[in-house]
Amino acid sequence: MYLRVHGPRPTELRGCYWTDRDTKGELHFEHVSPELASDFTSAMALARAAPPA
């Protein structure tokens, strides 16, 4: 899956996915964090520390 992020401080993330088994769908994320993550491990740490929505 590839997602493109545009702009200096995006407020949402949208994308489509598909697999070799012909499953597909769309993703839409609206949570905005003032912190930046450079890898999956640091992103998970930020998500766990975030207050519930």
What is the pLDDT at residue 53? 64
Q: Is 12 left (phi over 0), alpha (psi -120 to 50) or beta?
A: beta
What is the pLDDT at residue 3? 66
What is the pLDDT at residue 23? 92
What is the pLDDT at residue 6? 72
What is the pLDDT at residue 51? 75
| Closest C-alpha to 16, from 5, 30, 2 | 2
Average pLDDT, consecutive stretches of 10 residues, N- to C-terminus, the chain (53 residues): 70 84 88 82 88 71
Domain ranges of the chain: 13-49
Length of the chain in terms of residues written? 53
